[in-house]
Structure formats: C-alpha cells, structure tokens
Amino acid sequence: MILDDLVAATKRRLKIEKQTNSLKAVQQCAKVALKTLPAIDFAAQLKQPGLHIIGELKQASPSKGQIVTDFPYIAIAKAYDEAGVDAISILTEPAYFKGSLTYLDKVSKITKRPLLRKDFTIDPYMIYQAKANGAAIILLIVAILDDQQLKDYLQLAHDLQLNAIVEVHNEAEVKRALAAGAKIIGINNRNLKNFTVNVANSLQLKNLIPADVAVIAESGLKKPADLIPLKQAGFDGILIGEALMRAEDKAKMVQQFKEVAYG
C-alpha cells in the first residue's frame, strides 16, 4: 500500500533529521516562532462567507509522478498570493512528493497568507518543525494515527497556536476526527491506499459533519465547474494542487476558481 510506504519513508527521514537537529533545538525554534508569529484562527476564517481556496505548491506525487519539471516555488507562491488565495499548502515530503521544509521556510518570508505544512505527521517533532518554519496549519491524517495520537497532536498544535486540518477518507474516520475534537476536517477524495479519486466522496461524508466544524474538499478538483456541487453542499474550503501546478497562468486559474467560489 502506498500509504504504508509513505509512513515508512517518513520514519526513516525523521530518524536522520533528529540526529542532525535535536528535538530540543527544534522546540526552541518553535518557541521563538510562537512569540514572533501572529496567531491565525483558520477555522474562523473558513467560516466566513465563500468557498475558500487553498493553493498548493507540489512538484510531484506518487500517483502522477513528476507534475512539473520547472518549480520556481517562490514565484508561484507570489502568484497565488497576488491572485488572492486564502492559504497556501506546501508539500514538505521529499521522497514521493519532492517537497522540502526549505520551501515552507522561504515562502513564509514572502507572504502573510496562512501556510499549511503538507506532510505525513507521525511525530510531535514534525509539529514543532512546522511552527519553527513558518506554518500556521498542519495536516493530521486520521488513517495513519491512533486516537490518542490524534488528541495529543491536536493539543500540541493548539499549544503552539497552529491550526490542524484533520484529513478523513471514510465514515469511520469522520467519527474519529470529531471525537478527537477536530475544528477543521479535510475530506480527501483520493483513496490513499490505491490513489484513485472519487469526488463524490466529499459530498457523501459532508453530511456527517456538524455545521460548526469547517470542512474542506481535497483532491480531484480540476476545473472551476467542479466547485459548484461543493459550494451548494455548504463546503467552507477547497484545496487545489495539480490543476494549478499544471496551469500556465496560475494567477488566472486562481481567479477563475474564485469567480465560482465567491460568485
């Protein structure tokens, strides 16, 4: 299963990273960031009118391989910012997505938009890393965490003034996310076991989530018209990755999505 491979690769990476940069050192950097970075309530932002857009910086993926060969991530982030995305998602997983924490750190210095560290969070160390490198949001994937980890990581995120998107793929995971106290739930239309996409998944699971919890649809959104059923169903946000990365004029595509999202 691809998800198992991703988790295994993350464990190997963390082992090396902890030898290079100790937990204590990363915690200290996170502590500095806590004092200097403004707190952002992303759940409250999502609950404002409109379908909020998270634009993603992504070079590659396990399902698509190399998405773009040219990756001027700073220029892309600036284009997203100027086009008015509500947040920017940055892949930091290197083995399968060719991401890097450096991207997160450098983009945090050129935008005030909330940044999502998109990675496979399996250790508190990664949450401290996210804060230390300028993230305002982390991703917690229910499928790779047990109930205690979910609760503990949500609490740690709260303590560090980080928002958490709790990602789900099925009804059982929705129930676990809600039981853990998730304020933002991301419904991934991509099956992480085989990476097939079913956009109807978001619409089916949305009905299980209380109105006071912000809901984001992730994966498989290719064109502005894809947003219409999500908007009608009362979604609060969408995450768009591959469609934007493949677009020649990324700012123009953001504007086209915004016309539907806020129209």
In the chain, where are the structural domains located? 2-262
- Render pLDDT for 147-189 as a digit per residue (tens, 0 to 9): 999 999 999 999 999 999 999 999 999 999 999 999 999 999 8
The highest-confidence range among 135-139, 204-208, 224-228, by mean pLDDT, is 135-139
Phi then psi for 219, rounded to 5 degrees?
80, 140
The whole-chain average pLDDT of the chain stands at: 94
pTM of the model: 0.95
- Render pLDDT for 116-133 as a digit per residue (tens, 0 to 9): 999 999 999 999 999 999
Q: What is the 8-class DSSP label of residue 197?
A: B
**Tokens representing 32?**
């500095």
Which one has a higher pLDDT value, 106 or 202? 106
Domain 2-262: state its class.
alpha beta
Burial class (CB in 10 A: 0-12, 13-18, 19+), 63: middle
Instruction: Return the active site residues.
Output: 56, 58, 118, 167, 188, 218-219
Helices (H), 84-233: 94-97, 101-108, 124-132, 147-159, 171-180, 200-206, 228-232
